[in-house]
Amino acid sequence: MKRALITGASGFAGRHLARKLAETGSWEVIGLSARPHTPGPELHHHLVCDLLNADLTRRTLAHWRPDVIFHLAAASYVPRSFADPAGTLVNHAVGQINLLDA
C-alpha cells in the first residue's frame, strides 16, 4: 500500500482527494492540517502540523515517509488575503519552502 500525505486535508479539495484515494483501497491517506479538525473516515491518520514550523514539518515527514505528497494547503479566506497580501504571500512561500526542504 502506498502512503499519500495531503497538506490542507481539511480544505475543500483536500477532503475530496482523500476520499478518492481511500476509495481505491491502494493508499494509506495521511491528512495534514494547520489546525485541529474532526477528520472524516477517509483519513487513516490526521496530523496537526503548521508548515511554517520548519522543524515540525521536517520531523513529520521523516517519521511518516510518504510516497507521494499532495500540497493543497493554502489560505482560503479571500478577504484576509486582500487585507494582508504580503503576509499571505510569505505564508504560502515559507510553507512551500519548508515542505520542499523536509
pLDDT attached to residue 83: 94
pLDDT digits (tens, 9 = 90+) for 61-78: 999 999 999 999 998 888
pLDDT attached to residue 70: 98
pLDDT value at 42 more than 80: no
pLDDT value at 37 more than 80: no
pLDDT attached to residue 68: 98
| Average predicted confidence (pLDDT) for the chain | 92
CB 35 within 8 A of CB 48: yes
pTM of the model: 0.89
The count of other CB atoms within 10 Å of the CB of residue 83 is 10
Domains annotated for the chain, with CATH where assigned, are: 2-101 (3.40.50.720)
